């Protein structure tokens, strides 16, 4: 993503802490992710998350993928609705919680970048 849009340090910190384990190729696999059947569930969840949004593979094919502006809007939407990070993930990863101030900061950033991309 950083190759396509500028990400301020404070926003990147939030995204890495709350999103990257599932939505990037930089997953930090916990110990339980190596033991079946938990490993099957974790691998499935990460595979699905990456298919939806992968910060490591921020493609720009407008025919097959959402535009960067659409992706950015989705990030803000899901954070504001409390859909992401999922509650089930937060049970085992409480550090991934995103405060309301962090949500607003990420949304402010996504809005700024989206308006630049739309021009």
pLDDT digits (tens, 9 = 90+) for 59-83: 655 556 677 788 889 999 999 999 9
What digits encode the pLDDT tens for the residues 82-104? 999 999 999 999 999 999 999 99
Q: Is residue 4 part of a domain?
A: no
Q: Is residue 16 part of a domain?
A: yes
Give the separation between CA 14 and CA 18, rounded to whole angstroms.
6
CA nearest 66: which of 117, 26, 9, 16? 117
Q: Is residue 1 part of a domain?
A: no
CA nearest 80: which of 100, 96, 97? 100
Give the separation between CA 28 and CA 40, rounded to whole angstroms.
16
Q: Say whether pLDDT at 116 is over 90.
A: no
Give the number of domains in the chain: 1
Token digits of residue 88: 């089930």
Q: Say whether pLDDT at 4 is over 90.
A: no
Looking from the CA of 7 toward its CB, the CA atoms found within 13 Å total 15
Q: What are phi and psi of 5, to 5 degrees?
A: -140, 150
Boundaries of domain holding 100: 9-118
């Amino acid at each position: 993503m950083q190759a396509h849009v500028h990400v301020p340090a404070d926003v990147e910190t939030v995204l890495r802490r709350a999103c990257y384990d599932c939505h990037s190729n930089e997953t930090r696999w916990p110990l339980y992710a190596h033991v079946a059947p938990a490993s099957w569930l974790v691998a499935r969840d990460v595979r699905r998350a990456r298919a939806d949004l992968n910060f490591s593979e921020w493609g720009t094919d407008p025919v097959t993928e959402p535009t960067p502006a659409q992706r950015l809007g989705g990030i803000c939407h899901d954070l504001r609705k409390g859909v992401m990070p999922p509650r089930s993930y937060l049970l085992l990863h409480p550090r991934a919680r995103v405060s309301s101030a962090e949500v607003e900061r990420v949304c402010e950033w996504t809005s700024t970048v989206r308006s630049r991309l739309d021009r």
